[in-house]
Every structure is written in C-alpha cells, then in structure tokens.
C-alpha cells in the first residue's frame, strides 16, 4: 500500500461533525473517511454510504444452519443410528425444531461476526493503523487524503467548520 499523507481534524461533538460533513459534501470535497467512537445517527445518508450487505450474508448463514441441523438430524436419526425415544418415530420433526432453531441462530450470528471481522480487517492479533487514539474515546474525526485536498484548503475547511485540532499523519 502506498504511503499516504492524511490530514485530519478532530471535533468535540457529533453535531459539529455532522455539520462539517454536510459542508464538505456541499463543497464537493472528497472525504477519505470519518471516524467516530460510536455510530452517529444520520451520518450514513449524508456520506452517501450504501446499505450494508451483511444482513444478506446473515440470512444465507442462517439458512445454512437450518439445513445443517435439519438434514443432519434426519440422517443421524433415520440412517446412521436410529434410536427410539419415548415411542416416537425415528423422524420426529417436532423434536428437531428447537435444535434447528438453535443452529440457525448460531450459524447466522457466528457467520456474521466472522464476516464482519474479515471485511473490516479486525481480529485478534491484527495491528491496525489509527490516526489518533482519542477517536475511540471522545473525538470525532474527518480525514482527507492529501492527493484529494491540499493541506491549505483542508486547514481552512477545518477552521471554518470548528474543528478543535488539525493534524497530519503519514500512514
């Protein structure tokens, strides 16, 4: 990955951040990314982010869990090792339903967590570059790539929109 010089401004409040993002969009400035310590309501539509496709993956994992559980039990209790429980038939669908439900939830949740970690480049032992440790605490950050916006105009933008600090960093 090429080394990019990043200019970023920190805001103290999410309302300031939302206003600044709107200004940047109005001026057609290309924002590299926005970092916030928590999900900020209404930020996605202003940034023009498309809807996450994670839930579609979740549905597929869930269906996979349903099939695994149901077909698995069907095979085990009718072909592999038929056992009579309480005088019920081998293929007792009502008894399968709780486990089918559990595996559906298990597959969907674990699958979505793993997918999310892979897509976001997170995970145990992964070291990520971050601009400033305080964006995980109480600062709201807008970052520009220097290729898109030179330091001077970025500085005036941050000043205009009320950023509390402006920094540069090479990633």
Partner 1 sequence: MRTFEFTNRLRITLLVGIAIGLICLGLTWFSASDDGFHSRFWSNVLHNSAFFTMISALAAFFLAASVTAWAGWYTVFKRVWESMGLFLLFGLIMMGLIGLSVYMGWNELYHWNDATSVENDQILDGKKGFLNKGWYFFGTLVIVGAWYFFATRFRALSLQEEREGNGNDFQLHRRLRFFAAAYLPVFGFTMCAMVWLWIMSVDAHWYSTLFAWYTGASAFVSMICLTILILNYLRNRGYYQNVTTEHMHDLGKLLFAFSIFWTYLWFSQYMLIWYANVGEETGYFHTRINEYPILFYGNLIINFLVPFFVLMRNDTKRKMGSLTFVAAIVLLGHWVDYFQMIKPGVAHTAHEIAVQEAGGHHGAETKQLGAHDHGHDAHGHDKGSHDHGNDSHGHDAHGHDGHGHGHGSFNVGFSIPGFLEIGTFLGYLSLFLFFVFTSLSRSSLTSEHDPFIEESLHHHV
Say how far apart CA 161 and CA 24 lie, in whole Å. 9
Instruction: Give the range of 19-27, 89-97, 104-112, 143-151 binding partner 1 by CB under 8 A.
Output: 89-97
* Residues in the chain, overall count: 171
Instruction: Give the range of 65-73, 84-92, 113-121, 124-132 binding partner 1 by CB under 8 A.
Output: 84-92
Should residue 41 be labelled a site residue for partner 1 when binding is judged by CB under 8 A?
yes
Should residue 82 be labelled a site residue for partner 1 when binding is judged by CB under 8 A?
no
The pair of structure tokens assigned to 104 is: 């559906």
Q: In this chain, which of 39, 45, 48, 87 binds partner 1, going by CB under 8 A?
A: 87
Instruction: Give the range of 23-31, 64-72, 90-98, 151-159 binding partner 1 by CB under 8 A.
Output: 90-98
Say how far apart CA 88 and CA 94 lie, in whole Å. 10
- Shortest CB 20 distance to partner 1, Å: 20
The pair of structure tokens assigned to 81 is: 């090792």
Residue-by-residue DSSP string for 113-159: HHHHHHHHT--TT-----S-GGGGTT-EEEEEETTTS-HHHHHHHHH
Residues in contact with partner 1 by CB under 8 A are 41-42, 51, 55, 59, 86-88, 94-95, 97-98
């Amino acid at each position: 990955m090429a080394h990019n010089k990043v200019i970023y401004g920190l805001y103290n409040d999410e309302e300031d951040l939302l206003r600044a993002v709107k200004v940047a969009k109005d001026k057609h400035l290309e924002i590299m990314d926005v970092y916030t310590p928590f999900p900020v309501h209404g930020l996605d539509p202003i940034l023009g982010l498309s809807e996450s496709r994670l839930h579609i993956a979740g549905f597929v994992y869930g269906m996979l869990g349903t099939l695994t559980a149901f077909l698995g039990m069907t095979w085990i209790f009718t072909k592999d090792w038929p056992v009579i429980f309480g005088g019920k038939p081998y293929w007792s669908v009502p008894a399968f339903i709780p486990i089918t439900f559990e595996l559906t939830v298990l597959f969907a949740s674990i699958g979505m967590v793993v997918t999310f970690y892979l897509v976001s480049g997170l995970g145990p032992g992964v070291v990520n570059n971050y601009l400033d440790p305080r964006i995980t605490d109480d600062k709201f950050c807008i970052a520009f790539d220097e290729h898109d916006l030179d330091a001077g105009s970025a500085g005036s933008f941050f000043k205009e929109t009320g950023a509390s600090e402006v920094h540069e960093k090479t990633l």
